[in-house]
Structure 1
Amino acid sequence: MTSPVSAAASAHRDGIVAARHLARWLALAAAPTFAIMAVLTAMIGDDPADMLCAAGHGSVLGGMVPMYLLMSAFHSAAWLRLIAERRGGGGG
Structure 2
Amino acid sequence: MFGPDSGSASDPGLAGWLRLAAAPTFAVMALVTALSGDAGMICSAMPNTSPFSGMTLMYVLMSIFHGMPWLNLMARLRRSAARRV
- Bin for the TM-score computed over the shorter chain: 0.5 to 0.7
Number of paired residues? 67
- The residue that corresponds to 2:19 in the other structure is 27
Instruction: Give the alignment's Cα RMSD to 1 decimal.
Output: 2.5
Q: For residues 41-73 of structure 1, give each alpha carbon's deviation from its aligned partner in whole angstroms, at most 9, with x where no partner exists.
A: 000022421325x7xxx9xx8411111000000
Question: Could you tell me which residue of structure 2 aligns to residue 17 of structure 1?
Answer: 5
Larger radius of gyration: 1
**What's the TM-score, normalizing by structure 2?**
0.67
For residues 13-43 of structure 1, the C-alpha deviation after alignment (integer angstroms, 9 at most, x for no partner) is xxx637x710000000000000000000000
Which blocks of at least 5 consecutive residues in structure 2 are unaligned?
7-11, 81-85
1: CA distance, partners of 2:74 / 2:13:
17
Matched residue, 2:83 = none
| Aligned counterpart in structure 2 of residue 73 of structure 1, from 48, 53, 64 | 64
Larger helix fraction of residues: 1
Runs of 4+ in 1 over 6 A off after TM superposition: none
- Unaligned residue ranges in structure 1 (runs of 5+): 1-15
* Identical counterparts, % of pairs: 48
